[in-house]
């Protein structure tokens, strides 16, 4: 079943062609916010979304347009602690009370990304940190960088919806993968994955 496929989180692209095929032709995924309530943005822990060094000045520049979407408690955390934490080249977003990312806003109990809210409103032209855009894929460090599928139980509704609608993970994450790999890189992965093959 799909749950068992994802639980080990071992599918890594960029290292083993078989893993590329397994990842993109087996896993079906389509976010279901009504079911998960934006759980990936509110996972318990001291560290939020990984940030690339080049993203830090971008966030600083758009912060005035994004802050208005944040709850008062989150705005206070940004003023008090800043928006990023950790050592250079290994920074993440700040979390509020070891839970929600500081850039989370809440809409009828659903956690939403303030960056994406401003992006959809046409107020900024940067959607969100790449690590958030790629989720449930995680960048895998190493001599040959890759991507790892990270299964968390809160995403099971997305796997169920993906199966019901026949949405392959590579198709759901197309914009994020093109942003990360470019059009040619996405096409290469798509062709390797043979997303039309149903192996459930």
pLDDT tens figures, 52-105: 999 999 999 999 999 999 999 999 999 999 999 999 989 999 999 999 999 999
pLDDT 10s digits, 142-155: 645 578 888 899 99
Domain ranges within the chain, ordered by starting residue: 2-29+136-193, 40-126
In DSSP terms, which residues pair with 92 in a beta bridge? 50, 85
Instruction: Extract the tokens encoding 16.
Output: 């083993």
Model pTM?
0.84
Higher-confidence residue: 116 or 185?
116
Instruction: Extract the tokens encoding 49.
Output: 């979304």
In angstroms, what CA-CA distances link 132 with 1, 63, 139, 196?
26, 17, 11, 26
- Whether the upstream peptide bond of residue 136 has omega within 30° of 0, thus cis, is yes
Q: Are the beta carbons of 12 and 187 closer than 8 angstroms? A: no
pLDDT 10s digits, 13-48: 444 444 554 566 678 999 999 999 999 999 999 999
Residue 95: CA atoms inside 13 Å, Cβ hemisphere, count?
18
Strand order in the sheet with 137-140: 12-13, 146-149, 137-140
For residue 193, the model assigns a pLDDT of 62
Distance CA 32, CA 37 (A): 8
Distance CA 42, CA 96 (A): 9
> Cα-flanking dihedrals φ and ψ of residue 155, to 5°?
-90, 0
pLDDT 10s digits, 109-134: 999 999 999 999 999 999 999 999 99
pLDDT category at 5 given cuts 50, 70, 90 is very low
């Amino acid at each position: 079943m799909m749950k068992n496929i994802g639980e080990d989180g071992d599918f890594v692209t960029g290292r083993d062609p078989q893993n590329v095929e397994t990842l993109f032709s087996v896993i079906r995924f389509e976010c279901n916010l009504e079911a998960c309530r934006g759980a990936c943005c509110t996972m318990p822990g001291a560290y939020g979304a990984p940030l690339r060094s080049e993203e830090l000045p971008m966030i600083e520049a758009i912060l005035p347009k994004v802050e208005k979407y944040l709850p008062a408690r989150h705005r206070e955390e940004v003023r008090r602690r800043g928006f990023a934490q950790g050592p250079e080249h290994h920074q993440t977003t700040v979390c509020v009370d070891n839970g929600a990312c500081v850039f989370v806003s809440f809409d009828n109990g659903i956690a939403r990304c303030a960056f994406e809210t401003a992006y959809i409103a046409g107020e900024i032209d940067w959607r969100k940190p790449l690590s958030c855009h790629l989720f449930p894929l995680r960048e895998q460090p190493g001599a040959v960088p890759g991507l790892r599928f990270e299964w968390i139980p809160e995403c099971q509704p997305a796997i169920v919806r993906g199966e019901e609608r026949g949405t392959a993970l590579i198709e759901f994450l197309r914009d994020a993968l093109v942003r990360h790999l470019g059009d040619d890189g996405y096409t290469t992965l798509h062709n390797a994955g043979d997303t039309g093959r149903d192996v459930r």
